[in-house]
Every structure is written in structure tokens, then in C-alpha cells.
Structure 1
């Protein structure tokens, strides 16, 4: 019998804290906010890697690229990104003009992603499917903050791989996580039967998707600005294509978010509301208020939506359904991360009161930064649209200030992280010290 042999590991030991400092920051999502995080990390001299599930950067923005934004160019470009681009001769487009999503990508986001400081660190076609701590699920506490993050990814070819990171900035957005058609928040009963007749929000009804909608009856479900954009596209299509019908289903008794207002701080958004109001008044859009959908089913080639309406069960028949019911964050990939989320809107708990859609519009949200975005999991941040959970009041300028503050905190610059400023339409520059929570946006 051979003697037992003890193998000694003679590899030089590196402390956990020293190893952590050598790892990059992982950024999830290469949209405008994710790449703004990258630009701020470049300026701070912090290494990073960006994971983008799409084959191209800003894949979600490209999906609704035909849609015009509310904000003009001067509110759509991150300051750190602008400084990096300006070094290469880039100039801001017409500052007072609102671009389409495609223009935003082609004239700003794509050039930013192509910069030498950023391009080698962006991994396209790589989906993040989970985040945890190295060797620790969410139940383990001892020395947790010293353990690197593990970011699990999957390529389009199915290869799964883990990456170690010192911190994680989740800027993955919510576009790929729509709310269901059911008013209960659960998946709609019968969805499997009618799924091929239901499209995602913001289809290109006058362009890429025209043939699908021309000459057919389309019902748009939802009371927000995504619904309004689609309704106006369908109204124009109806003018050009005989037989095209447009119905608008709203859960509440009025479309508060879309209705025009003289107090709206974004002129393009107010104009959108005016146009929808006029189309309804002209009889170009049939509106059904107080509709709570409970089931979908097939009726030959048509679709029936069974719903509660004002105490009765009603059936609405249509050819196509556009799901414009809003979005929610995908939290499944964060099951092993210790999060502190508001129980209603699923936003970080300190941020939630500032973005409550029952109180705030995007122009009245106070400036906020790392403090409001902090979770019990040290070094982990949700930013951008995903940080707003189910609240629809997000502006890109808000996301840019979020990542500036977060990256300052990661760099150890507590003063810069705490002092947050935000330029918003019609309110000027709003500022607050994150230490006292004050603000001037009103």
C-alpha cells in the first residue's frame, strides 16, 4: 500500500481585498445608461467589462428606433460620454431637437461604443443569466463583502461561463420584460392560444410591421405614452389603408398619463397627448374605458378578449393586440443577490418614494445617486430604467447622473458621489447632497 502524500499549495497567497481590487466592474447592458457607466469608469481609471445580450449595442432602443423621444438632444447625452467623444471631434446634434431612437443610436450611442477606451471591453451577444457571490449563495454572510461577484453569462451559441467582478452595475433595462395583458399582473389566461396575434409595445406600424396591421382591426392595451405612439401610427395607417380600425383599451376610467396638459414640462410629450385627444374626438380611435382583461381566446381568425367592465363580463373582438401595458424589472437573474426593494414598484427602497407615479412625473423626480441605489449587497447597483422598477417616469438624464454618482463611489470619491445634480426640462439645474436628501425639483 502506497504512503499517503500530502500536496502542498505553494502558490503565493493574495488577500481577498487585494484580489477584489484587481477585478473589473461588470456592467450589464450596453444601452445609453450602461455605456454612460462605461464612460464614467474610463474617466475614473477603473477597469470594466460590459455585457450586451444583443448582437449590437442598444439592441432594445433599436427595436423601437422609429419612435421619437420626448427629450431633446441636450438632455440625452451623458456628460462624461460627451467629453470622451469630443476628444475625437464629435459634436452634439441640434440641442433643441428630439431625435428618434434610431438617431440616438446612430449619432451617439454607437460612436460611443466604438471608442478605443470602450470597444474592447464590450461583449456583444452575451446574455447575463445570473449574479451571485463567489462561493456564496444569498444565505451566507461571513466575509461576504470581500468575495468577488460572479456574473454568469450565456452566448447565443449556448456557452455558459462565469466572470469575476469587483462590483456590478445592472443597466439591463426593462424593455424585454413587459407587463402581462391581464389586469391581475399574472400571465393572461389563454395567452398560449392567442400569442401569435399579440405584439410587443411600439411596433413599427408605418414601416417594418406595416403589412401586419394594414386593413386589420388592432386593439392597443395600455394607458401610457407607448400606447399613444402606437395609436397615432395606426391612425395614420388607417388614413392610407382602407379597412384599418383602431381600438384603445384602458383599465382605468381615463388615460391620465397621456392626456394633454398645459403644465407638461416636455413640449413633445404634451403635443403627443394633444394629438391623441384630437384623434379620439374625431372618432378615429374607439376608446373603451374601465376594461380589466381576464382571458384571451381564439374566435376563428380573430381574437376575443374577455374582460370585466363596470361590473359586467364583456367580450371584445379584434384581429391584433398590441401589449402596451408597461414594463417590469427582470429580477430572476438576481435571486442570489441581497436586494432591498420597495414592495409596490420593485425599485430600490430609498428611491421608490421619489419616483412614485401617483405623485411624480419625470420632471419632478429629485436628483438621486448611489445612496438611494444602495442595496444590502455592497458593490451592487441597479441603474437606469430598471432602477425605477414598475414606475414609468424615467428620463435618460436621470440615469446618467445615477451612474456618475455610483462610479464616483466605486472610485472612493465620497464627496462627488454624494453631490448630485440633474438638469431637467423647465426646472433648470436641480441639486442635492445625498447626505440630507434635500432637493429643489418642484
Structure 2
């Protein structure tokens, strides 16, 4: 890479938790970041679930380099042992951080393509010496090309939820029934949303934290005067086992364990019925306009008024199509990272610590970080993303020793022998075995020194 190229900024796609942390770490290393955010505010995706409380504490969702940037401004870190909502996280941390970064963050700037200057993905000649060219569309319709020495994609997966169909494709009739289907945890404090579900029968498809939260919310609604008669039908692609509800009291993130216990309480109290071993193939309307879920085995469930699909998220890779990415064929995660997070093998919330080595691609100096780095795998934690971008910033600064010295201890789920925490990745449904042990702290590229999954 030429001296001229190294003077270019590092483009960071997305002004969410991982993207803004990446900018903070780059600045700390003397590297100029340029954050491009499609939304109009920091944490645009986080704000869409502003009503949901995180199961991580404030002390676990503030990046150390970001905190150093914020401290001189008089910013006060919230009490470390309290739990923020998505709205709290965005307003009290992400937006102040973006404000400090100032002109280094551009809002209303949607990235529509990334390539090497003058080189499509086919061309080999002098490829690595060419800067990246990033195509951007602004909300006012203006188009722009931005040149970069490296690209860090922290755009997440929020915009591409997985469908109801068990095959990974939309169920037959799913698009036609879009007016009755949601793909997010409902905000029942919003009067319009509350009216949509109050007194209604709602199918909830999924078995991860989002499904647990939704079952608990609907159960709470059923206990109120205006919500009398509210009922949930919980759709699971496998049976209910000891691990279905997560780690419970054994989870080292207590709030995460409590989610599973709340979902179990909703089922035990009769606020939710469970349809197990049900793989959705079609969604039809009956004569009264209600929705009927049809399984791959031909089963037809009793009609419901609404459906909430919480079957996980997947990465949008379309704007990276001219880059040479090395992605696992199943998870769509970086090849070296995929074995560490594969739900076919892992039934714990812990993964080996990882950094630039696991996140690199055949295309030099392009990285997928944060939720997007996990592809379709679930159970991502903010602190994992912060370690990722710290390692990458060190590498880009030429400090390879620091880049490879990734030390991170993640809390256990307390779940063994099943895949109960996953938002229904199809391949994880029938896994047995798995492990949970003391979370590992190790050096990138080295074998685990202790425990881990």
C-alpha cells in the first residue's frame, strides 16, 4: 500500500456500538476514522428496540477507548451494575460518543457498494496496492465516492431478520400476510402496538432471548384489564427439554437467565401454549381472515390473530459483492471464526476470544465486526465486538503484538447438552453434547488454556 493510500481514512460502516468503538480505537492509535451511518442518529438499529432491556450491565456495554474519549467532556458513566434499555444505550452512550467524534461520523449516508479502485473482484493485478472505493447514497439523493485505506463493516444484521419458514426461505403466504406478521419484540407501551396484541391470540416463532422476552411481555399484558384474553402460541421447531429455557440461575449474566425463567413462567401459568416439533411451511388465512400456520408435516394449528417471527438475523452481504470475502458456507461468518461460534457444536454462550487473525479475509484490510461477524450465529455480546475492533485497530497501526493479545473472559450461559439459547438456526436443532466450563482467556491463535466451549 502506498504512502498516499495510508493517509486515507479507515471507513467504518455503521454508527452502532461496534462501529463507534472502532472509531474510538482508531483515533487512540492515531488513525483517522470515517463512520458512515445510514440512519439519522447514532445507534439507529438499537433505537428500534429501545423498549427492550439488555441482559448485559452498563459496565459490560461501554467500550474502554470510547470511555476515554467521553471522560474529558464531563460525561458520567451510568452505574456499572444497572441494566440499560436499548433507548438508554443509544441516548446516554452512543449518541454522546458520536457527538464527540463530530465530523468523523456522517449520518444519512448509506453504503451501497465497496470495491478496490479500478479493480472488480476478478482482477488480481496490483490489487492490494489500490485503495478501497466506497459508494455512498445520502438521504438527499446525492451520491458520493469515498476512498479508504481499510474498511470495517459494523453494519450489523438488524435490517435482515430471518423468515418464518423452517427452510430458511419465507413460508408460503408469509409475504401475503405481512400486515399480520412482525419480526421484532413488540413495544407494548406503545398504545397502537398494545391494541394490536391485547386480547388476541399471537403465534411466537423462535426459541431465543427475543422469543423469551416476547412471551413474558404477552403474559404481562394478559394480566391487565385491557389485555384480558391475550394468549400466546409458542412455535418451536424441536421439543421442550431441560435446556429450552436457557441457563436460568446458572447463567453468569443473571438477566439473561431470568429471561428464560420468565418464558417458562408464562408457559407454566397458562399464558402461552407450546406447539413443539413444528416447522412452518405455509401461512394461510381462514374464512374470518385469521392466520393458520401449516407445518411441513401437514399439521394445521388453530387460527391466530397475529404472528411474531423471531428466528434470528442474517447479514446483508450484497454491497460487499465486489470484495473477496472468505465466509463459512453455513454461517456466513469469517472462515477462521466460524468453528468457534458454530451452533452445530456449541451450546454455550462463550466463545474463544478472537481478533484480527480470525476476522481477516482474502481481501486484505476489510473486516466484518460486531453482530455481522457472526453471520447467522446467535448469542453475540457487545464486549466481544469491542475486543474485535481493538485488535483490528492495533493491527492497522502496525502493532501486531497488541493485535494478537486479545484477552477476554465471557460469562457462561450455564447451558449444556442442547441448543436452547439459539434463535432457531435450523442446523442447531438436533445437536447433542456441547460443553460449558470456565470461560477461556487466551492469546489469539493459541490453543485454549482453560475451559471454554
> Could you tell me the TM-score, scaled by structure 1's length?
0.91
Say which of 78, 85, 102 aligns to 1:93.
78
1:63 maps to 48
1:354 is matched with 340
Cα distance change on mapping 1:441 and 1:56 into 2, 3 Å = farther
The equivalent residue for 1:13 is: none
By how many angstroms is 1:254 displaced? 2.6
Corresponding residue number in structure 1 for 2:181: 198
2:446 counterpart (430, 436, 442)? 436
Is 1:247 the counterpart of 2:233 in the alignment?
yes
Structure exhibiting the larger radius of gyration computed from Cα positions:
1
Paired residues, number: 423
- Aligned residue number for residue 131 of structure 1: 114
* Structure 2 residue matching 1:421: 3-state secondary structure: coil
Q: Which segments of 5 or more consecutive residues in structure 2 lack a partner in the other structure?
A: 413-436
CA contact (8 A) 1:419 1:431 kept: no
SS where residue 344 of structure 1 aligns?
A: coil
Summarize the Cα distance change of 1:441–1:239 in structure 2 as closer, same or farther, 3 Å threshold: same
The match for 1:264 among 216, 230, 251 is 251
Alignment partner, residue 262 of structure 2: 275
Distance 1:429 1:289, change over 3 A: closer
Counterpart for residue 61 of structure 2: 76
Q: CA RMSD in A?
A: 1.9
Equivalent of 1:141 in 124, 128, 150: 124
What pairs up with 1:283-322 in 2 under 5 angstroms? 283-299=270-286, 300-308=288-296, 311-322=297-308
Higher strand share: 1
Q: Relative to 1, partners in 2 of residues 1:250 and 1:413: Cα closer, same or farther, differing over 3 Å?
A: same
Instruction: Identify the residue that residue 199 of structure 2 maps to in structure 1.
Output: 215
In the TM superposition, 1:412-431 aligns within 5 A as: 412-425=398-411, 431=441
**Deviation at residue 72 of structure 1 after TM alignment:** 1.0
Residue by residue over 1:150-170, the C-alpha shift from the partner in whole angstroms, topping out at 9 and shown as x without a partner, is 111222233332211110000
How far the C-alpha of 1:177 sits from its partner, in A, is: 0.7
Q: What TM-score, normalized to structure 2?
A: 0.89
One of 313, 321, 329 as aligned partner of 2:315? 329
> Is this contact kept in 1: 2:280–2:293, CA < 8 A?
yes
In the superposition, relative to structure 1, how do residues 105 and 282 fare at CA in structure 2: closer, same or farther (>3 Å)?
same
Q: How far does residue 257 in structure 1 lie from its aligned partner after superposition?
A: 5.2
Q: 1:258 to 1:127 in 2, by over 3 A?
A: farther
Do structure 1's residue 408 and structure 2's residue 391 form an aligned pair? no
Distance verdict in 2 for CA 1:356–1:131, change over 3 Å: same
Match of 2:152 in 1: 169
3-state SS of paired residue (2:442): strand
Deviation at 1:246, TM superposition (A): 1.3
Contact 1:397 1:423 in 2 (8 A): no
Q: Which deviates further from its counterpart, 263-272 or 87-96?
A: 87-96
| SS of equivalent to 1:294 | strand
Give 1:111 shift: 1.0
Structure-2 change in CA distance of 1:82 and 1:430 (3 Å): farther
**Post-superposition CA distance 1:184-232 (Å, at most 9, x none):** 1112222231011111221212336212222222111111110111111
Paired position in structure 1 for 2:419: none
Cα deviation 1:315-360 (Å, max 9, x = unaligned)? 4421111111110111111111111111111111111111122443
Shift of 1:97: 1.6
Instruction: State the 1:267 CA deviation.
Output: 0.7
Residue 432 of structure 2: aligned partner: none
Query: Per-residue deviation at 1:361?
Result: 5.4
* Worse-matched range after superposition: 429-438 or 334-343: 429-438
